[in-house]
Amino acid sequence: MRVPSRRQRGFTLIELLVVIFIIATLAGMATLSLRSTDSRNWTGEVQRLANLLQLVADRALIDKSHYGVVFEDDRYQVVRYDSSALRWQEIDVAGVAKTSSAGRFMSHELPSNMRLEVLSQAELPGADSNSSFTPSGRSNSAKDDKEKEVKPQFAALSSGEVLPVEVAFFLMRDGDVARGAVISYSSLYGMQLEWRTDDY
């Protein structure tokens, strides 16, 4: 007796369309999740810098010393004025008392998709306009190997006053600015943080 063979069946067009739709939906959710993570990280970095400026101002008043923050495109660092050497210098974190804020005074490098730009700053009294600073005290100029004086764009004085600064903090996406925030600090108005939600 002959058994009838079962006909082999392939996928129908509707089944294929359903699978393609599910894959496209999952890919879209993954993309949105990655962008959301970038935005959360950027928001955290902006808050970290704003809190650091406040911490530096408070620390200057408590320690009766001058503190400053040096900004570059992709990093920032807290410095302290050494009255014996009459110059701004990097803070030796090992010499700082072990507090919860000691780690914040270390040089902080930003993620590759974030950028800083100093919009306005007050000029430090007696600062040499040709001096520059790079992390670990290296000079930007190849012809001058001597250490140059650090020029912080933000300075908090031991008297409780601050030299005002305005810094833009950008989240970059595909080489363009996706989001921005402006942090400003002055003795008169204190800390101000403005989130820029408009398109760039």
pLDDT tens, position by position, 9-26: 777 888 888 889 888 888
- pLDDT band of residue 142 (cuts 50, 70, 90) is very low
SS3 per-residue string spanning the chain? CCCCCCCCCCCCHHHHHHHHHHHHHHHHHHHHHHHHHHHHHHHHHHHHHHHHHHHHHHHHHHHCCCEEEEECCCEEEEEEEECCCCEEEECCHHHCCCCCCHHHHCCEECCCCEEEEEEEECCCCCCCCCCCCCHHHCCCCCCCCCCCCCCCCEEECCCCCEECEEEEEEEEECCEEEEEEEEEEECCCEEEEEEECCCC
pLDDT tens, position by position, 59-72: 998 989 999 999 99
Whether the full predicted model's pTM is greater than 0.85, yes or no, is no
Does residue 47 lie within any of the structural domains? yes
Does residue 5 lie within any of the structural domains? no
Where in the sequence is the domain holding 148, given as residue range(s)? 13-196
What is the reported pLDDT for 46?
92
pLDDT tens, position by position, 71-94: 999 999 999 998 888 888 888 654
Does residue 7 lie within any of the structural domains? no
Does residue 40 lie within any of the structural domains? yes
User: Which CATH number do you get for residue 36?
Assistant: 3.55.40.10
**Count of domains in the chain?**
1
- pLDDT band of residue 33 (cuts 50, 70, 90) is low
The count of C-alpha atoms lying within 13 angstroms of the C-alpha of 154, restricted to the half-sphere facing its C-beta, is 29
The residue assigned the tokens 């570059």 is 72
| Percent with pLDDT over 90 in the chain | 31
Average the pLDDT over 175-198 and give the result: 86
Does residue 109 lie within any of the structural domains? yes
